Amino acid sequence: MAKSLIINRALLVFMINLLGLLVQPSSAQLRQNYYANICPNVESIVRNAVTAKLQQTTVTVPGTLRLFFHDCFVNGCDASVIVASTASNTAEKDNSINLSLAGDGFDTVIKAKAAVDAVEQCRNKVSCADILAMAARDVISLSGGPSYAVELGRLDGLSSTSASVDGKLPLPTFNLNQLTAIFAANGISQTDMIALSAAHTVGFSHCDKFSNRIYDFEGKAGSIDPSLNRTYATQLQIQCPRNVDPNIAVPLDPISPRVFDNQYYLNLQQRMGLLSSDQVLAEDTRSRPTVNNWATNSVAFNQAFVAAITNLGRVGVKTKPSEGNIRRDCAVLN
């Protein structure tokens, strides 16, 4: 009996470890300076294109960041979210949850791709997936956040369907268990999830994503979500009155909405997380210590964010010719 228990326990440990391996992000053949001998100036080319786009509109920052996240969580970081729908296929970008992705995010990648392909040595040599990863890094650093070396070598995905998006992305109503689970499904730890959530230090949200917190919370007439700062809630009601135009949006970070910093965590401490999936990080005792640490230590946050977005960039990458290719047009499958 004892021997049987030992064997069964060993088998259980083996299966748990195997499951962990199956969901780990795979860096596969990604590496820094991947294009050194293919398109040596690719990073400066992309950065110049992103800088030019940012000068046109600050939406470039959150738009590009959110595009990267939505891409990686659906069949991996393969630029499949950029593919346009056709008469015979509804692509990822037209799934209902992706309809709010800012057009400026897509345009950033399209413009950077054009700039890269304008160099003969680089033409059709750099994937849209890698351009998106570089652009995400650039919008972070250009808006005050950390800069970091990007691992490269991704191929572009061979398919993009709306159906593949269902259930793959976190919702603004998620609690900590739900957030942790959906990130874990992509091999991303809870600590990395808390770090990546700080992308909400830039950008905006439409009123309908949080109206349930400021009006008739949980069906009680006139009530407000008790985890929401009262003064902040009143400001939000002014910005988002009942029956407001659905196109109206407000900053996710009301203090420094155009700067990538650790203000996100300071806001959470003041119960000024716009979405309930933001505020829960400070309300739940399991995640609160991390929030408090990064609210007071911007260096530690920057380091954690770089580690987290590097792990995000490894999710489901395709590096074999059988898995992907380099798209000539980011919006059209080859």
Catalytic residue among 47, 53, 70, 209: 70
Using CA atoms in the order 304, 175, 213, 275, what is the torsion angle rounded to 10 degrees?
20
Which two three-digit tokens encode residue 182? Answer: 């959906």
Question: Could you give the angle at which helices 60-72 and 298-312 cross, rounded to 10 degrees?
Answer: 50
φ and ψ of 123, to 5 deg: -55, 125
80 marked as binding residue: yes
127 labelled ligand-binding: no
278 annotated among ligand-binding-site residues:
no
CB 30 within 8 A of CB 152: yes
- 206 appears as a binding residue in the annotation: no
Name the DSSP letter for residue 165.
Answer: G
Annotated binding-site residue? 170: yes
151 annotated to a ligand binding site: no
Say whether 74 counts as a known binding-site residue: yes
7: how many CB neighbours lie within 10 A of its CB? 10
- The answer to whether residue 206 is catalytic is no
What Rg value do the Cα atoms of the chain yield, rounded? 21
Q: Is 245 annotated as a binding residue?
A: no
CB atoms within 10 A of CB 60: 26
CB 97 within 8 A of CB 165: yes
296 is in an annotated binding site: no
> Binding-site residues, please?
71, 74, 76, 78, 80, 92, 170, 200-201, 253, 261
> Binding-site residues for substrate, please?
170
> Binding-site residues for heme b, please?
200
> Binding-site residues for Ca(2+), please?
71, 74, 76, 78, 80, 92, 201, 253, 261
Catalytic residues: 70
